[in-house]
Amino acid sequence: MNATNAGRASVPGHVPLLATTRGLAGAEAVECVHYGSIAIVDPRGRLIGGAGDPAGVNFTRSTLKPVQALPFVEDGGMSRFGFGSHELALLCSSHSGETVHVRLARAILERIGARPGHLQCGAQAPRYFEVVGKPGPAQLKPSALFHNCSGKHSGFLAYCRLHRQRIDRYLDPQSPLQVRIRNAVQAFAGNDTLVAGTDGCNAPNFALPLHRLAQIYCRIACDDDASLRAMFYAMTLHPDLVSGTARTDLAIMQAGAGDWVSKIGADGMQAIGVRSQGLGIVVRIAGGSSRATHVAAVEVLHQIGLLDEPDATPLAASFRPRVRNARGSPTGRFVPLFTLPRLVR
């Protein structure tokens, strides 16, 4: 499919990746179609599998968080403040605002001499209650500490403290921190032009070709660079801190048993790096459906040979699942519309 123009923006050539049906088996009809693209690369960035438009430019959203934490790690911030793998995992997280996440974010701020009021990510209620389908306590007020990006923003503040920079303008695209992050992203992007925007948490964010983002995750998983290796081990050792209870990143990294690093991004982004196989994988669902993104990501892992028996793993609930109504009755199912080569023998 050729890209078309929507105003000045080029629309990636996405293709149908998933359908949902409604009706009884044998007498069902397609109700919804989820368009998107897939990119699978090797350590050299060579595209070895995909669908749709692997070169299409898409915003990275929270899949960028390990790169946003990279300058702090490279500059010795971990040892300067006595941080370990727990803190680093939270710096890369999109957490659910559970007690363990909030306590760790607060401890990071205390260690660097900052307060929750210095966080500029905005306030949220904990996502935990939405994810597990329970009502939150009535007295619980939204807080920046509950925000799924409070770990990332705490890392931003830690970088500023490390370099004795102002902490009130750490999100300014021209601040030393954000210039450093942009340069790090550009180094990964090579000659590709970055498209800049603002993420949901007010931080600068960038759009990249999907295959470039896949290569970033391949490097996080496989590179011998000390900072990237620290990132990989922190995230895979503490997937509960990177995401949270009943979340997809937790399930993917549990299924990978320390071999797969995984990070979601808002509005239909999923990135995975596979250390043993030297693979970087990105799945993009154009309509932004989180559910469809999870299902498509698990389908990719299955089709390329990384997940031969999904039903026996923590990813069982996302493998070609039934669609159910509010009473839990099955009304349809997810059906994959793409075919990938088996890459893992």
293 to each of 98, 266, 310, how far by Cα in Å?
23, 10, 16
Any idea where the domains of the chain sit in the sequence?
Answer: 36-336
Average model confidence (pLDDT) for the chain?
A: 95
User: What pLDDT, on the 0 to 100 scale, is given for residue 8?
Assistant: 59
pTM (global) more than 0.85: yes
What is d(CA 159, CA 201) in angstroms, rounded to the nearest whole number?
Answer: 18
Counting residues of the chain whose pLDDT is more than 70, the rounded percentage is 97
Instruction: Determine the 3-state secondary structure of 203 from DSSP.
Output: coil
Residues 260, 217 contacting (CB under 8 angstroms): no
Query: Strand locations in 110-247, DSSP E?
Result: 195-198, 204-209
Does the pLDDT of residue 2 top 60, yes or no?
Answer: no
2-11, 69-78, 143-152: which range is least confident on average?
2-11
Q: Which fold has domain 36-336?
A: Beta-lactamase (3.40.710)
Q: How confident is the model at residue 7 (pLDDT cuts 50, 70, 90)?
A: low
Give the model confidence (pLDDT) of 62-117 as tens digits. 999 999 999 999 999 999 999 999 999 999 999 999 999 999 999 999 999 999 99
DSSP letter at 11 equals: P
Render 112-140 in DSSP notation, one character per residue. Answer: HT--GGG--S--B--THHHHHT-PPPTTP
